[in-house]
Amino acid sequence: MTPKIIPMKTLFFLTTLLISVSGLSQDRITGKPFVTRSEVIAQHGMAATSQPLATQVALDILKQGGNAIDAAIAANAMLGLVEPTGNGVGGDLFAIIWDAKSQKLYGLNASGWSPKSLTLEYFKKNGYEKIPAYGPLPVTVPGTVAGWFKMHDKFGTMPVEKLLQPAIDYARNGFPVTELIAYYMNLSSKRLQKYPGFKETYMPNGHTPRKGEVFKNPDLANTLETIAKGGRDAFYKGEIAKTIDKFIHEQGGFLSYDDLAEFDAEWVEPVSTNYRGYNVWELPPNGQGIAALQILNILEQFDIKSMGFGSADYIHVFTEAKKLVFEDRAKYYSDMKFSKVPVEQLISKEYAKERAALIDMEHASSKYDAGELEQGNTIYMTVADQYGNMVSLIQSNYRGMGSGMIPTGLGFMLQDRGELFSLEDGHNNVYAPRKRPFHTIIPAFITKGDTLMSFGVMGGAMQPQGHAQIVVNMVDFGMNLQEAGDAARIRHSGSSQPDYGKMTDSGWLEMESGFKYEVIRELMRRGHKIKYSLGGYGGYQAILYDPVNKVYYGASESRKDGQAAGY
């Protein structure tokens, strides 16, 4: 059969059309071609959360004269309703707050401790090699509500009743579920619907809500109303605490009324490193925030800018730095009330130089040891107000929706953070009563003179990797706030976890689409095992204060339902 010859004029038209369509699908008049949207810019306030309804709740509070702390509490309560796949009042909370009045950063650790009556001996006696992911045993005290009131007592201006009212109204009257949340709720239901209360709370029509369906959670509305009227003690010392105690013990667990009543969140000092002139701030352990600082310190030993974004050299150095740091993370990071964590040494420049010297630019390492020293789904959100205050806040139940434990009639699931304890004798993170487990959720902040930036990248072990990539994208590669979040990310998995011993091979280097094939081929030549993954690259939100123009810039995550909005 003779092939049909396409006239040159037609061929030219089709080629031009193809180039135009392909260019218009990604091209932008300004900024990088991969960016999904422009930065949001506003004078008086800004909110960036992972769900548009929560962002709007935060803005409403700001417009009523509330400050960033008020708006953050209101938005977080709302997120527990509209995004139960990542957080809720049954989880923990961490925050870094910039107080404009004192010109100071404050750190908040609102992570709960383990039950007093549950011991390491119990796990060993019953043959556990690790703490289960679901059920009553991994449940620790939920710290979120204590965190709200700690923040509010120090910085809040509007009554808590007013801050929780939007979430109460939406819980009672309903809201349309987004495509992404519908997907994750359905996914969670496959493993959680066997637990009591799940179907009643999240499958009222025999299935989890589908995209666009209006979902109501009247039990959660009642719980939030109880907290709004009775304050912090209504949760930790009232009927809610008694209900949690009764339910967990009926399920064979140990969390008690006393564990709740005697718990409180606490203020902690943020720690920082200077990366090429920018002060990057994180919270100290039991969280993994200092891992981001350690990665940045190692990267600072290399000329990252000249390597270029997306280059094999940059990705190789970043991955090797991550491997080095995560060995330290596995060995040292834990509740500092139980173990001496050498934070100052871990984030020192001298230590970074020693560790950086171990990186071979031609070969991916299959094994690093921790340094010898003297001794997921989540939500991230940030708010800034007209007074100059900023809040960087992260909150989670762990493993998406949590433990599967929904106390009778309360409308929320308890977290399963206790799974992250080690059962190895002598380990820094070994299980003990009234101890806070190693934590993955971390808020971040950057300061340089009067320039301020609150940001975070949710997503388990991705978080410190994501934090470091955002900083490098902006500082070394000159990206703006939105570009830094939209740029293709990498995620290395396979380094030591807190309780699984040393890395045994090079792990997997997971790469989003957008990296050149010749780069991937070169990384494989150096010994990296490459794979593509659907998701797992985190969820980013950020606010930047520009002291020159006196405006806020907002950026949000295009991979999720995120929205940044200002006024």
Supply 336's token pair: 């500092």
What's the rounded Cα separation, in Å, for the pair 333 and 346?
10
Supply 372's token pair: 């010898």
Confirm if 474 and 455 have CB atoms less than 8 A apart.
Answer: no
pLDDT band at 532 (very low <50, low <70, confident <90, very high): confident
The model's pLDDT over 207-241, given as tens digits with 9 standing for 90+, comes to 999 999 999 999 999 999 999 999 999 999 999 99
Alpha carbon separation from 8 to 12, 13, 19, 197, 237 (Å, rounded): 6, 9, 16, 67, 80
Does the annotation count 378 as an active-site position? yes
Kindly report the pTM of this predicted structure.
Answer: 0.92
pLDDT score of 420: 94
- The average pLDDT across 40-65 equals 97
Query: How many other C-beta atoms lie within 10 A of the C-beta of residue 19?
Result: 10
- The average pLDDT across 244-259 equals 98
Q: Share the mean pLDDT of the chain.
A: 91
Of 397-411, 415-429, 501-515, the poorest mean pLDDT is in 501-515
371-375, 488-492, 528-532 — most confident range: 488-492
pLDDT score of 472: 98
Query: How many other C-beta atoms lie within 10 A of the C-beta of residue 336?
Result: 16
Which residue among the candidates 85, 201, 273, 378 is catalytic per the annotation?
A: 378
Q: Which residues contact 253 (CB under 8 A, 6 or more apart)?
A: 115, 135, 136, 137, 139, 405
Of 12-16, 238-242, 372-376, 442-446, the poorest mean pLDDT is in 12-16
Indicate if the pLDDT at residue 503 is higher than 70.
Answer: no
Indicate if the pLDDT at residue 372 is higher than 50.
Answer: yes
pLDDT band at 533 (very low <50, low <70, confident <90, very high): confident
- The average pLDDT across 385-393 equals 97
Q: Answer whether CATH 3.60.20.40 is correct for domain 268-275+283-375+446-566.
A: yes
Name the E strands within 162-299: 175-176, 214-215, 266-268, 271-275, 278-282
Supply 534's token pair: 């659907």
- CB-count burial class (<10 Å; 0-12, 13-18, 19+) for 213: middle
Length of the chain: 567
Nearest C-alpha neighbor of 173 from the set 213, 210, 218: 218
- The average pLDDT across 414-434 equals 95
The model's pLDDT over 327-356, given as tens digits with 9 standing for 90+, comes to 999 999 999 999 899 999 999 999 999 999
Q: Where are the domains of the chain?
A: 42-267+378-420, 268-275+283-375+446-566
The model's pLDDT over 84-95, given as tens digits with 9 standing for 90+, comes to 998 999 999 999
The model's pLDDT over 101-114, given as tens digits with 9 standing for 90+, comes to 999 999 999 999 99
- The average pLDDT across 452-467 equals 93
Indicate if the pLDDT at residue 370 is higher than 60.
Answer: yes
- The average pLDDT across 534-542 equals 87
Nearest C-alpha neighbor of 542 from the set 391, 377, 440, 388: 391
Q: What is the CA radius of gyration of the chain?
A: 24
More reliable by pLDDT, 157 or 506: 157
pLDDT score of 373: 53
More reliable by pLDDT, 558 or 40: 40
Of 57-66, 423-432, 482-491, 528-537, the poorest mean pLDDT is in 528-537
